[in-house]
Amino acid sequence: MDLMQTLRERAAWRPQRVAFPEADNETMMRAVAELTSAGLAECMLVGKGEVLRGLAEERGISLAGVEVIDVSDEEENARVAARYLARPDCPYKAKGVARRMTRPLEHALIMQVLGDVDVTFAGISSATGDIILAAQTIVGLDLGVDVVSSCGIADVPGWEGGEGGLLAFGDSAVCVDPDPSELASIAIATCDTVEALTGWEPRCALLSHSTDGSEESNLVDKVRAARDLAQGRRPDLKIDGELQFDAAVRPDVAAKKVRRASDVAGRANIVIWPDINVGNIGVKIIQNLARADAYGPMLQGFKKIVCDCSRSAPVSEIVGNVVMSCVRAQARGAR
């Protein structure tokens, strides 16, 4: 059974509540209808109720089983706002919360903080930066994490390394040139995301052009400092570096190059790119030369699951990303 089929079965086992603040978008609306009919998620369209119902009728899309959260319902907005204002972590005053109740993205995120929603899913008509900024302010960052990042999983045909031919990676999409603390955060968040999604025990390699002191440079120093920070913050995780890619994933190479005991070297199932140049190039090499399927990127680092999809994402891709997000939310809820 492939990864996505396994994840679909897990999502259907305990459907999560997913808010879609870009509910008027036709592609998103069709994805919601498919997710609902397949029993993969409990979907909520967040927007102006009358408009959304009219668009669904025009498009021939059934909203059976889909909850519509009407941001123009002043009485319900006031009830939600009162609950949010009562929380000690609410960063806004009453007028600020009232304004945000009429904005679908922020309304969805506030519902998520209140526990009414497990996942917020957007991106098809919102900029990534806007989603991240709103989620950082309302939802907040997770323990041990000081930057939002992304991760993905590659399914490499014919490869026996990683975890049964699967290799997780981060960050290829958000952090351009992370400093040591940010790189440590990316490693920690990626371990938590991958463990929640797959059940693997993370073995995370911080990649470099050097292995175990074979080179000296500021670039290597950054990776070593990130390793020390990550190990200090989360000693329960297996995170090691600095390692070249081959030393991270091939036991024979690790045996020659790594002169100390390591739970990761030669056995990594997660690799952390040192910057976005390496990450973007690395993923595209794997996709184009190894014909790998790359799932993601998935936003990570928030206290709750917040997702950003591509603006060109088709229905099938949105459905797959929602499924992955729901499985992550299941694991977070079980903590």
Question: pLDDT band at residue 296, thresholds of 50, 70 and 90?
Answer: confident
Torsion sign, CA atoms 232, 235, 237, 240: positive
Average pLDDT over residues 148-158: 90
pLDDT at 313: 82
Average pLDDT over residues 19-32: 96
pLDDT at 335: 52
Say yes or no: 58 and 191 in one domain. Answer: no
Point out the least confidently predicted range of 9-23, 144-158, 255-269.
144-158
Say yes or no: 180 and 281 in one domain. Answer: yes
pLDDT at 145: 81
pLDDT at 2: 80
* Region of residue 292 (left: phi > 0; alpha: psi -120 to 50; beta: else): beta
Output the domain CATH number for residue 250: 3.40.50.10750
pLDDT at 295: 81
Say yes or no: 158 and 132 in one domain. Answer: no
pLDDT at 322: 95
Say yes or no: 322 and 255 in one domain. Answer: no
Say yes or no: 14 and 124 in one domain. Answer: yes
User: What gap in Å lies between CA 334 and CA 106, rounded to an integer?
Assistant: 25
pLDDT at 334: 57
Say yes or no: 14 and 89 in one domain. Answer: yes
Say yes or no: 71 and 154 in one domain. Answer: no
Q: Are 21 and 123 in contact (CB under 8 A)?
A: no
pLDDT at 144: 73
**247 or 294, which is more confident:** 247
pTM of the model: 0.87
Q: Are 83 and 97 in contact (CB under 8 A)?
A: no
The percent of residues in the chain predicted with pLDDT above 70, rounded, is 99
Say yes or no: 36 and 157 in one domain. Answer: no
Task: State which residues form the domain around 16.
Answer: 3-140+303-333
Say yes or no: 162 and 280 in one domain. Answer: yes
Question: pLDDT band at residue 147, thresholds of 50, 70 and 90?
Answer: very high
Tally of domains in the chain:
2
Question: Is the pLDDT at 98 greater than 60, yes or no?
Answer: yes
**Preceding peptide of 180 cis, ω within 30°:** no
Which tens digit of pLDDT belongs to each residue from 113-128?
999 999 999 999 998 8
Output the domain CATH number for residue 122: 3.40.50.10950
Mapped to the 3 state alphabet, what secondary structure does 230-243 carry?
HHHHCCCCEEEEEE
Say yes or no: 183 and 206 in one domain. Answer: yes
According to the per-residue pLDDT averaged within each range, which of 140-154, 229-243, 297-311 is highest? 229-243
Chain Cα centroid distance, residue 31: 19
The bridge status of strand 293-300 relative to strand 149-155 is antiparallel
User: What gap in Å lies between CA 242 and CA 257, rounded to an integer?
Assistant: 11
Q: Which residues are CB-neighbours of 107 under 8 A, at least 6 positions away?
A: 21, 46, 69, 71, 77, 80, 100, 101
pLDDT at 273: 97
pLDDT at 151: 92
Point out the least confidently predicted range of 42-46, 153-157, 227-231.
153-157
Say yes or no: 215 and 291 in one domain. Answer: yes
Question: Is the pLDDT at 59 greater than 90, yes or no?
Answer: yes
pLDDT at 4: 84
Say yes or no: 194 and 80 in one domain. Answer: no
pLDDT at 143: 80
